[in-house]
Amino acid sequence: MENEIKQMLDNHGHLQEYLFVRGFLLTDRDDLDLQAFPFYGNWKQQQITDSLYAYTHKWQYVHHITVNGNTFFLLGHAYDPFSMNYEEDKILSHLAEVYTATGDYQDVVDGITGLYVFGAVIDGVLRFQIDPSGMQSGCFGVLQDHFYLSSHPQLIGDLCRLRMDPFVKELTRYKWYYRVMGPYLPADLTPFAQVKRIVPDIEYTYTNQKVTHRRFYPLRNISVCKDQADYDQVIHRAADILKKNMQLVVQKWDKPSISLSGGIDSNTTFAAANGLYDRIGAFSFISAEKETIDADAAQKIAERFQVPWKLYTIPDSADGLEDYDEIVQIIDHNNGYVAKGRDNEYRKRVYLMQNLDTDVEIKSWTSETIRAYWYKHYGRKSFPKLSAKLFRNLYKIFIFDRSLAHKVDQVFAAYIQAFEYDKIPSMYPPADMHYNEVTWGSWGGLNISEMRIYAELTIIYNNRKFLDLLFRVPLDKRISDQHHLDMKKYLNKELYDMHIRVVNMKETDFRAFMLNVIFTINSILPF
């Protein structure tokens, strides 16, 4: 694969900047040739410590600060709705002050929103963790006596000439691999056995050529809202975090645009921008017929609040899309050949690359975690207790390939034990933790990386304190989305009174019923 992509890019110099676009690499190597494949002169190097170097794509950034011999860094972007800092250097300065005073930085990191990997080098030991839902894809490995941490597993694969893990190859060839949320790998797997995905809520430590990890969240139980007053307080506090995030976004970027639909997630994002409508834009796209109803709803919302809105109609064929085949080749290489897309998704990526006009897309992902998405998806009010079988059944359908099902069970059994899921308190259901740490972390991060080929993205929901707060909402309200409706009402009553809500086609009652039948069969099969 490397020879094919390299040969193509050697002949298409204007496309080289899209290889591992907005990517980064943290390593102890200082000898990488930034003019050669896979960097092609589009990356820069910064020294973080005496033996640690950050390589970043020209549209990506690393920020770092050293105080009292300890170094703190951020790969990616971040903003803090609690300190109201939107510049990474100020966030790190505040974090360093807190660490110097208390010996701990986690509370500050938990309050940060964005797409990032945070790290620290304390007493010569490297520690690192990823954003709350893994929206910034990240992975690491120790290969040939060198440490690598990257946004893209394939980048490490290219540098170290790795071959795809045979199990991953078998899994990606399974006919149902592309079903249930689309293609993504289970547990903390990447295309390469020597490289592992960085799991959200986990802090990793690298020292003496070895990486270890520990779970830092969630380890303390919380109480469900005890009455209406308590519930209202939670809703208002959570909504205020979203509002402050939007205030920071319009300061951080000159021309931010909300990816707007009729769904509850982007509706709430739009509501959080109330008072800022003269400083944002909005856009929608139609790449499949089912998206038309969303675009119509988005237009009504934007017009009501006089927000500039643009519709992007994705062509039905690739004819006329310049360099289409070559860009698809780049996308497939960037994702490590584990997520071949649908034709309309490829066309959307390429069309938006060539037409989208924004500094940053404000996307409304990760809220599905506290919207209890797996419960909606399967039409269930409860799930079986924590087990490898539960995680496998949430992941994919393996009714007709029990041999592969057992292999996936073994992967998840080791993963559940290694990442201490048994320590997670009861207020954080295993299905929700699977969705946040496995589905979002693996599927979501990979998809966000793909989308960043056409623009930078940010997600105002991706804040651990925000997500944690809404776990206090009773499960039935999370399943029904009542908490989102109440946040929208609090943030923008006029928008709430428009009663616009387009239900995701994947959330219909019949679909959920059928998926629950499959889930149940998959759960009770004894072999």
Do 10 and 90 lie in one domain? The reply is yes
**Do residues 454 and 287 make contact, with C-beta atoms less than 8 angstroms apart?**
no
Do 233 and 336 lie in one domain? The reply is yes
Which domain CATH number covers 186?
A: 3.60.20.10
Residue 183 lies in a domain: yes
Do 457 and 426 lie in one domain? The reply is no
Do 204 and 233 lie in one domain? The reply is no
pLDDT averaged over 10-residue windows placed end to end, the chain, 527 residues: 90 99 99 98 98 99 98 99 99 98 98 99 98 98 98 99 98 93 97 99 98 98 97 99 99 98 96 99 91 95 98 96 98 97 95 97 97 95 97 92 95 99 98 98 96 98 99 98 98 98 73 88 79
Q: Burial code of 484-508, b = ≥16 C-beta within 10 A, e = fewer?
A: bbbbbbbbbeebbeeebebebeeee
Residue 33 lies in a domain: yes
> What pLDDT sits at residue 507?
56
Residue 374 lies in a domain: no
> What pLDDT sits at residue 506?
57
Q: Which residues pair with 459 in a beta bridge?
A: 363
Do 90 and 188 lie in one domain? The reply is yes
Do 500 and 520 lie in one domain? The reply is no
Separation between Cα atoms, residue 87 and residue 77, nearest integer Å: 9
Residue 221 lies in a domain: no
DSSP string, 37-70: TTTTT-EEEEEEETTEEEEEETT--EEEEEETTE
Count of the separate structural domains present in the chain: 3
> What pLDDT sits at residue 511?
84
Do 449 and 423 lie in one domain? The reply is no
The token duo for 2 is 């490397």
Residue 222 lies in a domain: no
Residue 311 lies in a domain: yes
**Do residues 285 and 523 make contact, with C-beta atoms less than 8 angstroms apart?**
no
Pairing of strands 360-363, 256-259: parallel
> What pLDDT sits at residue 434?
98
Do 208 and 269 lie in one domain? The reply is no
Which domain CATH number covers 308?
A: 3.40.50.620
DSSP string, 179-212: SSSSS--STTB-SSTT-EEPPTTEEEEEETTEEE
Do 184 and 244 lie in one domain? The reply is no
- Selection from 135, 201, 242, 181 nearest residue 458 by Cα: 135
Last residue of some domain: 160, 188, 215?
Answer: 215
Residue 220 lies in a domain: no
Do 156 and 254 lie in one domain? The reply is no
Pairing of strands 43-49, 139-143: unpaired
Do 60 and 116 lie in one domain? The reply is yes
> What pLDDT sits at residue 9?
98
Residue 285 lies in a domain: yes
Separation between Cα atoms, residue 426 and residue 126, nearest integer Å: 32
Do 395 and 484 lie in one domain? The reply is no
Separation between Cα atoms, residue 23 and residue 34, nearest integer Å: 14
> The domain containing residue 391 runs over which residues?
380-431+516-524
